[in-house]
Amino acid sequence: MNDNEIIEQFNAEKDVEILSKKTVFKGFFKLDEYQFKHRLFDGGWSEVVTREVFERGNAVVVLPYDPVTHQVVLIEQIRLPAIMSTQSVWLLELVAGMIAADEIAEEVAHRELMEETGITASEMHFVNSYLATPGGSSERFYFYWAKVDASQAKGIHGLEYEHEDIKVHVVDFDVAMEMVNSGRIDNASTVLGLQWLALNLHKVKPV
């Protein structure tokens, strides 16, 4: 059996049996408890497994990049959960926002870019999507890079009714990568986005 056959061996429809699902908490986010069985690699079925799944919907992540000046636009805002493991809860991030059930991801990407930075994209390109923390959350990120004029990015932004207080930073790409390497930028979506750009500069930056 080759690796492709192993990868294609299981699928959720026939190889996972959901026995029960109940909501154990519902507030700003939701926590569901699942009981399920699944097929085993060595054959047969597992015993009943209980897992709690953090349900917060899906989101877009947008990397605003100016290929003329070779700069990225980052935002800074408070992220309280970071207090458990870092000295500062104000993180440098990419633009991001939740996708409502009836929304189109690219439209959300444009909206969040305007709300969080005050700038618009001359081009918006879908890159890929990925699961953020599949061991405990269902959330999937839809990642875009946006072609922008970085000279227009400045000031404080965000929606007051969402308690957002967002500061915009225009950062040379090489400096941003230094912050990734030093750990100053340490949130997953921003690290992934900047590393993707580092690998794909030949596609987005004019010669």
Residues designated catalytic = 162
Burial track 177-186 (b if 16+ CB lie within 10 A, e otherwise): bebbeeeebe
Overall residue count recorded for the chain in this entry: 207
Residue in the structure block whose two tokens are 């986005």: 193
Dist CA 188 CA 107 (whole Å)? 23
Collapsing DSSP states into helix, strand and coil, what is residue 117? helix
Contact at 8 Å (CB) between 166 and 97? no
The residue among 104, 108, 88 whose CA lies nearest residue 96 is: 108
Place of tokens 């939740």: 98
Within 8 A by CB and 6+ apart from 118, the residues are 152, 153, 154, 155, 157, 168
